[in-house]
Chains A and B, each alone.
Chain A
Amino acid sequence: MKLSGAEILLEALRLEGVEKIFGYPGGAVLDIYDRLPFTNLQHYLTRHEQGAAHAADGYARVTGKVGVCFATSGPGATNLVTGLATAQIDSVPVVAFTGNVPTFMIGNDAFQEVDTVGVTRPITKHNFLVKDVKDLADTVKKAFYIAKTGRPGVVLVDLPKDVTREIADFFEEEYKAPPQIRSYKPVLKGHPGQIKKAAKAIASAERPVLYIGGGVVSSGASDLVVKLAEVAQIPMVATLMGLTAVPGKHPQFFGMLGMHGTYAANMAVSECDLLIAIGARFDDRVTGKLSEFAKNAKVIHIDVDSAEIGKNKPVDIPIVGDAKLILEELLPEVEKQVSKNREFLVSREKWLMKIRSWADRYPLYYEPNDRVIKPQFVIEKICEVTNGDAIITTDVGQHQMWVAQYYKFRFPRQLVTSGGLGTMGFGVPAAIGAKVGRPDKIVFCVSGDGSFQMNMQEIVTAVQYSIPIKVAIINNGFLGMVRQWQGIFYNKNYSQVHMDVQPDFVKLVEAMGGVGFRVERPQDVEKVLKEAMTINDRPVVIDFVVDREEDVFPMVPPGGSLKEMILPKYGKKSLEKAV
C-alpha cells in the first residue's frame, strides 16, 4: 500500500493499539494533523505542550499502556521537555512525536527549528530522527517496543516535515512482525541460582523487610509481593512510587519510608537484617544518609535495570529481571523453605510486633482543629468520600506528601505523582490523562496553590472534552514545602515563598467553564466534597483554605539517617491512644 509518511504514522499507531493522543498542532506536523480526522484516534488538544506530555504520562501510569503525545517543531518540542523528563525518571512508557523542519533545512536555524533529538537525549530512554520515509514504520515499531519493554521509559521520534509528506510502501503484515533491534535485548527472567540464594536468605533472616518500589506496580507484581509478605511474614514498606502496590490497610504494611516516611517504616528499615528491595532504586529521598541506610542488613535487590543494582548501595544478592517473573520463581522457593522450617515464623512474629509497637507509639499525627482546616484532614476526607477508590494525581510539595501519608490506597496504579523529578504543574494535566484512561474511576487531583498555578490552563482542556476531573487545592498561600525547609533549616527566613496575590480560584475556574468552590471551615469540607462528587460533566476545583504553617512530619533532615526523624508534636489525645 502506498501511503504518505503521515498516513504511515497513523496506521502504525492504530496497529500499536493506540486510541488516545494528547497534543498540540503546528506547522511542522500539519500533514499528520491533516490526516488525523480520518482515523479512529481520539486527539485531545491541550493548552500547552507540557500539558500534553503530562497527560500522556498520566494516561500511561493508570492504564499500563504506552502514552502518546504530539508536538510541533521548535518551541513545541522544547515545551515537551519537562513532561518527558518527568515520565522518564519515573519509568513511564511514553512515545512522543515531534515535527521538525524538512530534512534539507535541518541545521540551518530555520524557523521553529531545534535539535530536538539533541535536546531530549538525556531525558529519554532512546530517541530517533527519521530521515527517510522508508524507515518510518520500522522506527515507530521500535519506539513502542523500546518504550514498553525492559525498564519502561520515554522514546521520542522526530519527524521532519518532508518525511511526513513523502510516499512509501506500507504493509500491515510487515509491521506486525516482531521488531528487530540486535543491540537491545532486555533481561526479564531472573537467574535461578540467585533466586534460590534469595529464598534461603529470606528464610534465614530474623528481621527482614520488603522495600517496595514503583517497579512492582509497573510489572504487575503487586499480588505476588503481598503473597510473599504473607507466606513468610515479612513487614512491607513502600516508596512514593510503590505505594499503591500494597493495600494501604494491609496489617503487614507500614506505609512509606524515607524523608517523610512513617516512624515505623523508617525504624524497620534501620533495624532490619535483610532488606528485600524490589523495583526500587535507593533514591536519596528514600535512603537519607546512605551509610546509615539498612546499615546491618544483607541486601537483595530485584530490578529489571542492571544499572540500578549497586548504584547507590552495595548489594549481596542481585537479581536482574522483571519483578513479576522473578517473584513467580521466588515464591515457590520461599514456600518450600517455610514448610521445611516453620520455627523462623516465631521470630518474624516478634519482629512484626516490634514494628507494630513503633507504629502505635508514633503514628502519623496532626493536631485536630475545629476552626482552621488542617490539610491532612482534607486528604482524610477525600479518602473517605471516595471510599479509597479514586485515582489520585498530585502536584509536588507538602500536599503530595500528605496524600502519600493519609490516603489509604487500595489497588495498583491508583496514585499518579511525579516522584523522581518532582514536577510542579504535573497534577492537573496528569489527571486529564488519567481520567481519559480510566473513565470508570473518580479522578482527584490534589494540588497546592503554587503547583496549581503552574498548569491551571489545562482546566480549559478538561472543559472542552467534558472530562470531569476533581481538583482539591490545598491552599496555604505559600510555596509550602519550600517554606517548611526555610522554617526548619533557614531560621524562618521565608524568602520568596509568599503567594499573597492569588487569583480568585472560584471565579477563575468558572471563567474557564468549570465549577469552583471555596472552603474555609473544617465543618464544610465533607459537604463540599460530596457536592463535588455529584458533578460529572465538567471539571470541579475546590479551593481549600488551610492552616498556613502546617508542616509535614515525620521528617528526616536532608543528609540525616532515617532514624533521625523530626516528629510532630503529639497532642494529648493521640498519646493517650498510643501509649
Chain B
Amino acid sequence: MEKKEYRKHVISVLVENQPGALARIIELFSSRGYNIESLNVGQTEDPTISRITMVAKGDEHTIEQIVKQLRRLIDVFKVRNLTDKKKLDRELLIVRLNVETAEKKEEVKRLVDIFGAQIVDVSQDTYTVELTGDEDQIDAFLQLIKPLGIREMARTGRVAMVRALQGDTFEDKH
C-alpha cells in the first residue's frame, strides 16, 4: 500500500431526515478513530431530506472506504466527496470582540468593512461580528482580529455544494 497521506476531505451526504440517520453516519467515522472537524446538517429543498456536510481528515483509501460504506447505509440517498470538485464552500462565524477603546472600535469597523462582515450586536465594551465566507477568509479575519481580544466565538463549519458549471449536480448513490 502507498504511503498514507492525510488531508482534509469535504463529504456531502443526502440522507432521510429521521432520527438515527445522523448517528449512523457519524459512527462510520468515529469507529475508525477519525475526528470529524466539522459537521453540518440542515434541510434541503425537500424537507424529508437533509444535507450533511462533513469535514474530516484522513488518508485517501480510508476516506474512499467511508464513502462506500456511507452509500450502503439504508437511510442515505447520495454521497459525494467534494474535496477535489469545484464547489461553493461557506461557513459562518460569530465572534464577540473586546473593544474597550475608541481605537479598537475603529479598527474592528475597518476590518468588518474590508471583509464584508457585519456588526450584529453591541455593548459598552464589545462588538459582536458576523462573517460568512470560505474557510480561508474566516481564518484570515480571525487572525487579524485576534490581537484585539476575542471574548467568545462560534463557527459553523462548512456547508458546501458543487458549482453548477461542473455539469452534474449529484452522483447517484450507486
Where the two chains meet, the residues of A that have a C-beta atom closer than 8 Å to any C-beta of B are 117-118, 121-122, 125-127, 129, 146, 151, 181-185, 187, 290-291, 305-307, 309-311, 320
Contacts and interface: CB of A to CB of B under 8 A. Distances in A.
B8 interface: no
A121 B74 contact: no
Interface string B56-76: 000000001100110111111
27 contacts: A117-B20, A118-B23, A121-B20, A122-B31, A125-B74, A127-B20, A129-B19, A129-B20, A146-B74, A151-B72, A181-B74, A183-B74, A183-B75, A183-B173, A185-B173, A187-B174, A291-B1, A306-B68, A306-B71, A306-B174, A307-B68, A307-B69, A307-B71, A307-B72, A309-B68, A311-B65, A320-B174
B89 interface: no
Nearest to B61: A310
A183 B72 contact: no
Interface in B67-89: 68-69, 71-77
B115 to A, nearest CB: 40
A-B interface, 8 closest residue pairs, ranked by CB to CB distance from nearest: A307-B68, A126-B74, A183-B77, A184-B74, A307-B69, A307-B72, A187-B174, A183-B16
B27 interface: yes
Contacts of A291: 1
Given A184-B74, A187-B174, A306-B72, A121 B24 contact: yes
A185 B173 CA distance: 9
Nearest to A187: B174
A31 B82 CA distance: 50
A307 B65 contact: yes
Nearest to A291: B1
Contacts of B71: 306-307
Nearest to A311: B65
Given A117-B20, A121-B23, A185 B174 contact: yes
A121 B19 CA distance: 12
A122 B174 contact: no
Given A117-B20, A121-B23, A182 B68 contact: no
A523 to B, nearest CB: 53
Contacts of B15: 183
Given A127-B20, A183-B76, A185-B173, 11 more contacts: A118-B23, A121-B27, A122-B31, A129-B20, A151-B72, A183-B173, A184-B74, A290-B1, A307-B69, A309-B68, A311-B65
B74 A122 contact: no
Nearest to B16: A183
Interface of B: 1, 15-16, 19-20, 23-24, 27, 31, 64-65, 68-69, 71-77, 173-174
Contacts of A127: 20
A198 B23 CA distance: 39
A151 B72 CA distance: 10
A185 B71 CA distance: 11
Contacts of B64: 310
A117 B75 CA distance: 15
Nearest to A306: B68
Contacts of A305: 72
A290 B24 CA distance: 29
Nearest to B77: A183
A34 B150 CA distance: 64
A129 B73 CA distance: 16
Nearest to B30: A122
Contacts of A183: 15-16, 74-77, 173
Contacts of A307: 65, 68-69, 71-72
A185 B77 CA distance: 9
Contacts of A121: 20, 23-24, 27
Contacts of A184: 74
Nearest to A290: B1
B51 to A, nearest CB: 13
A122 B32 CA distance: 12
Contacts of B73: 126
Nearest to A142: B74
B52 to A, nearest CB: 13
Nearest to B174: A187
A185 B174 CA distance: 9
A191 to B, nearest CB: 11
A285 to B, nearest CB: 19
Nearest to B31: A122
A127 B64 CA distance: 25
Contacts of B16: 183
A33 B74 CA distance: 30
Contacts of B1: 290-291
B12 to A, nearest CB: 15
Contacts of B27: 121-122
A39 to B, nearest CB: 28
Contacts of B72: 151, 305-307
Contacts of A129: 19-20
A182 B72 CA distance: 13
Contacts of A146: 74
B83 to A, nearest CB: 18
Contacts of A311: 65, 68
Nearest to A305: B72
A125 to B, nearest CB: 7
A127 B19 CA distance: 11
A121 B174 CA distance: 22
A218 to B, nearest CB: 17
A125 B68 CA distance: 14
A181 B21 CA distance: 14
Select the residue from A117, A183, A184, A310 with max chain B CB neighbours within 10 A: A183
Contacts of A309: 68
A559 to B, nearest CB: 14
Nearest to B1: A291
A311 B32 CA distance: 14
B22 to A, nearest CB: 11
Contacts of A181: 74
B46 to A, nearest CB: 11
B1 to A, nearest CB: 7
A181 B48 CA distance: 13
A306 B27 CA distance: 19
Contacts of B74: 125-126, 146, 181, 183-184
A46 B93 CA distance: 57
A77 to B, nearest CB: 16
Nearest to A125: B74
Chain B CB within 10 Å — which of A121, A129, A181, A184 has the most?
A: A184
Contacts of B77: 182-183
B116 to A, nearest CB: 38
A182 B173 CA distance: 11
Nearest to B72: A307
